[in-house]
Structure 1
Amino acid sequence: MKLIKLDAIDSTNDFLKGLSVTQELENFTVVSAENQTKGRGQMGAVWNTEASKNLIMSVFVKDFVLNPNGIYQLNIATALAIIQVLKTFNIKDLSIKWPNDIMSANFKLGGILIENTFKSGGRISSVIGIGLNVNQTNFDNLPKASSMAVVADTVFDKEKILVLIVERLKANLALINTNSQGLWNEYLSILFKKGVPMPFKVKEKSFMGIITSVSAAGKLVVSLEDNSFVEFEVKEVQMLY
């Protein structure tokens, strides 16, 4: 693992993507920052973080996914890596809120943003951005956010967590082409609110449904009251929990 540490940057994902254009990066090149001024979440959502308190990192990987149809497996491998590491620190009630929010009970601890590049010859490289609330304790105006420190009442070593996440990510990515079903099974077993009747909202319309699965393409599969099933894209549906 090659680790590049930065004090402040607009976006670790953007920095690493720019680096990959100018040089041939090795797998698991990592960029971390103490502060990020233009952090992004899914579909352009803003990711705000308190300087020096949280883990802000991006990881470059290539040639693990061999088919664009299997690209969602990167999300699964990454989310599971984070969950597996947090379990070792006794963070309770962990789950993955589709598509890739890391939850403790009903509170968000972190999120993932993966940006893929499809090259000639079919090669796929990716920049995996991870934001994890580690030692921040003030979440004014963010009622659904929390951190490892709040959950466990402990101050954590961010760099140790970074190293452990990369180690677990390596192990999980190695399974993509040998035991992808095992990754899927573990991911679905800890999917936030799976099997629980709950309200959803699409645009201005609310309805009841039950999360049953996630499709191979990464769409959320919801069972409706008439026993039909519908699939939703990222940001197309809102869970009202």
Structure 2
Amino acid sequence: MKLIKLDAIDSTNDFLKGLSATDELENFTVVTAENQTKGRGQMGAVWNSEKSKNLIMSVFIKDLLVSAEEIYNFNVATALAIIEVLKTYKIQNLSIKWPNDIMSANFKIAGILIENNFKSNGSISSIIGIGLNVNQTNFENLPKASSMAVIANSTFDKDELLILIVERLKVNLAFIGSNPDYLWAQYTNHLFKKEFPMAFKLETEKVFMGIIQGVSKKGKLIVLLEDDRVVEYGLKEIQMLY
């Protein structure tokens, strides 16, 4: 694992993306930053992080995906890697809020942003961005955010966490080729609010009740509606209200 440590950067994903465009990077090249000024989440959401308190990292992956249909497997493998590492630190009530948030009870403690590059020769490379709230304790104006430190009432070694996450990520990504069904079963079991009635909101602002059944192989949320229909929703089509 090649590790590049930065003090401050606009986005570790963007930095690694630019580096991969000019250099031949080795697999699992990792970039970390103490401060990220333009961190991004899904659909352009801003990821706010207190300087030097949290783990901000991006991992370059190549030659592991063979088709675009397997892309969501990376989300599954990454979310599970974070869950599995956090369990070793006794972080309680962990779940995966579709598509890419890691929760402890009803509080978000980590987010994932995966960006893929499809080359003309058919190869696929990916950059896996992870933001994990580690030692930050002040979440003013962020009522749904928390951290390992708040939950466990302790402080943690970010470098140790990084190594453990990358090691677990390597194991899980290997499962994509050997046993993807295992990954999906674990992912589904850890889904936030799975099989609990909850409210959702559509793009049209319409609110309705439904029960999460799982996630499709293409990454769509599968929801059982009150009229017994089962519908799949894409990321931009639905919002959970919790």
TM-score exceeds 0.5: yes
- Equivalent residue, structure 2, for 1:87: 87
- 5 Å matches for 1:194-213? 194-203=194-203, 204-213=205-214
Residue 177 of structure 2 aligns to a residue whose secondary structure is coil
Q: How many residues align?
A: 241
RMSD: 0.6
Partners in 2 of 1:209 and 1:193 — Cα distance?
11
In structure 2, the partner of 1:164 is: 164
Q: For the residues of structure 1 that align with 2:157 and 2:165, how far apart are their CA atoms?
A: 13
Letter in 2 for 1:77: A
For 1:232 and 1:118, the matched residues in 2 are separated by: 25
Amino acid corresponding to residue 108 of structure 2 in structure 1: K
Deviations 1:37-87 (A, max 9, x none): 000000111111000000000000011111101100000000000000000
Give the aligned residue type for 2:236: K
Matches within 5 A, 1:156-195: 156-195=156-195
- Between the aligned partners of 1:180 and 1:118, the Cα distance in structure 2 is 22
| 1:220 match | 221
More displaced stretch, 89-98 vs 228-237: 228-237
Structure 1 residue 235, shift from structure 2 partner: 3.1
Shift of 1:120: 1.9
SS at match of 1:177: helix
Deviates more, 1:133-142 or 1:117-126: 117-126
TM-score norm. by structure 2 comes to 0.99
- The SS at the match of 1:173 is helix
2:2 is the alignment partner of 1:2: yes
- Residue number in structure 1 paired with 2:29: 29
TM-score of the superposed pair, with normalisation by structure 1: 0.99
Structure 1 residue ranges, 4+ long, deviating more than 4 angstroms after superposition: none
1:161-199 Cα shifts (integer Å, max 9, x gaps): 000000000000011011000000000000000000111
**Letter aligned with residue 212 of structure 1:** Q
The whole-number CA distance in structure 1 between the counterparts of 2:155 and 2:173 is 29
Equivalent position amino acid for 1:230 in 2: V
